[in-house]
A and B are shown apart, each in its own frame.
Chain A
Amino acid sequence: MEDATVVTDPFTDLVGKLTAFNKALTTRTAIAQTPKELVWTLNKAKLYRYIPVVAKAQRHPVPLLMVFALMNRPYILDLRPGHSFVEFMLNRGYDLYLLDWGAPGPEDKNLKFDDYTLEYMPRAIRKLKSIAGVEEFSMLGWCIGAILATIYAALRPDDGLRNLILLTAPLDFSNKEALTFARWTDERYFNVDQVLAAFGNMPGEMIDYGAKALKPVENYIINYLKLWDNIENPQVIEAWQAMNTWVTDNIPLAGGVFRQLVVDLYRNDRLMRGEMMIRGERVDLSRLRANLLTVIAEGDHITPPCQSKAILSKVSSKDKELFSVPGGHIGIMAGSGANKRTWPKIDDWLGRRSR
């Protein structure tokens, strides 16, 4: 009888592991649980205000607006209870707003950086200032959200932006050797007009493939092996599921923005060279005067550190700082070490400038 158990136990274990593995892959975790209210909408864009948890007298008087990338869901900032940047900042007494761009439809295929920075952002910011009853605000831009925040800050330096935080900001495209995306979208190999003529917007699946193909073995194999190795650890599974829910929730990128990203930025580096035109206005980075914190991820393969450093020498901000964190593009804000390194640094820097 004992011998039979010895033989069947490994199979029972294996079946249990396979069931748990399948469940982890197919279950969507509850994410973005922090209470918030919708305060403004325009087309697909929504401005949310998170319900403060600190009494008004103890709160920082300068509100913080978070602007995330256009082709991913912004709830990575509020991934899961107990591991959420939003939750962390609310507990630190910030009045927090999130600009969610939503998913562009076929009718939005012509939207460009011009529309997002000069049509949507000023309107959302006006609403934020009206609700908060303030004239000054802080802004945090992440990835393409950082491009939007930088363009806006340079075009509208007198709009009340006091503090600007850029996370893994792809702004400098001069070092083509370091940029795999620049190689892939080179005009010799990639016909951006043909792609957009076929799809209108850049499909989320193609963007997802592009991001994953930068590190194919890690993303397509090691990621799942790590889950398998830790299948009996509920904490690891919970974290993995939350991240997997976010990673697989892809949205398209508006065609106009994609064309600008490829032609103006990846191919011609127009922003850093001071040649980028937004509705006839030249984006002059020297007009950016807000206090500036640039956070770079040392192991970032999507936005290599070299893309985020040059901005510091271009702006007129007297108060500027570069903060380098070990980790990847997403890991520095959503990884297990984020609440020990990146979040406290942002709180410390911003808190002293939000009084």
Chain B
Amino acid sequence: MGNEQAANGKPPDPTDAFRDMRDTYLDAWAKAMVETVNSEAYARTSGTVLDTYLSASSPFREAVEKAMLRVLEQLSMPSRADFIALADRVNNIEMRLDDMDAKLDRIESYTKPAMESKPKPRSRQSNRQSKRKTRGAR
């Protein structure tokens, strides 16, 4: 061991043995915990804890919500429900805009080939020249 480390040029680290021991212990603990959390007992316990918390906090939460609503009304301030209703309306507008965007894309896709196949409009000068030529021909 000592020779190996001397060959590596590293001084012996007294914490290496501790680290190996720590890792072995943690691996064993990790496996045991995975089994624990995967058990029916854990599912039941965590469910009970959550249920208790939600049941206990529910009346308090409702009271705070009601009080807050009254305060906001007194201050003529919009409530969460008002904002949610507003957000719904904005969403609907966004949807309609997206529908319009889709329709415009469709119209563009129909008109593009027609526009490409149509001869390019001539400039005024070339129009005049062609008119002169026509007159001359007459």
Asked whether A189 lies within 8 Å of B84 as measured between CB atoms, the reply is: no
Asked whether A186 lies within 8 Å of B57 as measured between CB atoms, the reply is: no
CB distance from B110 to the nearest CB of A (A): 13
Residues of A within 8 A of B54 (CB): 191, 194-195, 198
Asked whether A216 lies within 8 Å of B37 as measured between CB atoms, the reply is: yes
Q: Chain A: residues with CB nearer than 8 A to chain B? A: 41-43, 105-107, 119, 123, 126-127, 130, 180, 183-184, 186, 188-191, 194-195, 198, 213-218, 221-222, 225, 229, 301
CB distance from A121 to the nearest CB of B (A): 13
CA distance A225 to B26 in the complex (A): 10
Asked whether A217 lies within 8 Å of B33 as measured between CB atoms, the reply is: yes
CB distance from A102 to the nearest CB of B (A): 13
Q: How many A-B residue pairs have CB under 8 A?
A: 76
Asked whether A107 lies within 8 Å of B83 as measured between CB atoms, the reply is: yes
Asked whether A195 lies within 8 Å of B33 as measured between CB atoms, the reply is: no
Residues of B within 8 A of A213 (CB): 37
CA distance A130 to B61 in the complex (A): 48
Can you spell out 28 A-B residue pairs with CB atoms less than 8 angstroms apart? Answer: A41-B94, A42-B91, A42-B95, A42-B98, A43-B91, A43-B94, A107-B84, A107-B88, A123-B102, A127-B101, A180-B37, A180-B38, A183-B38, A183-B43, A184-B43, A184-B47, A186-B43, A188-B44, A189-B43, A189-B47, A189-B48, A191-B47, A191-B51, A194-B54, A195-B50, A217-B26, A218-B30, A301-B34
Contact of A123 among B34, B61, B88, B98 (CB under 8 A): B98
Contact of B19 among A126, A184, A229 (CB under 8 A): A229
The 5 closest A-B pairs by CB, nearest first: A189-B47, A107-B87, A217-B30, A107-B84, A183-B43
CA distance A190 to B51 in the complex (A): 8
Interface core residue of B42, B83, B87, B98 (most chain A CB under 10 Å): B98
CA distance A183 to B37 in the complex (A): 10
CA distance A218 to B43 in the complex (A): 20
**Contact bitstring B80-120, A, C-beta under 8 A = 1, else 0:** 10011001100100110010011001000000000000000
CB distance from B34 to the nearest CB of A (A): 6
Q: Chain B: residues with CB nearer than 8 A to chain A? A: 19, 22, 26, 29-30, 33-34, 37-40, 42-44, 46-48, 50-51, 54-55, 57-58, 61, 80, 83-84, 87-88, 91, 94-95, 98, 101-102, 105
Asked whether A106 lies within 8 Å of B51 as measured between CB atoms, the reply is: no
CB distance from B71 to the nearest CB of A (A): 18
Asked whether B46 lies within 8 Å of A189 as measured between CB atoms, the reply is: yes
Q: What residue of chain B has the Cβ atom nearest to residue A198's Cβ?
A: B54
CA distance A217 to B26 in the complex (A): 7
Asked whether A42 lies within 8 Å of B94 as measured between CB atoms, the reply is: yes
CB distance from A160 to the nearest CB of B (A): 14
CA distance A130 to B30 in the complex (A): 51
CB distance from B122 to the nearest CB of A (A): 30
CA distance A187 to B95 in the complex (A): 36
CA distance A144 to B84 in the complex (A): 26
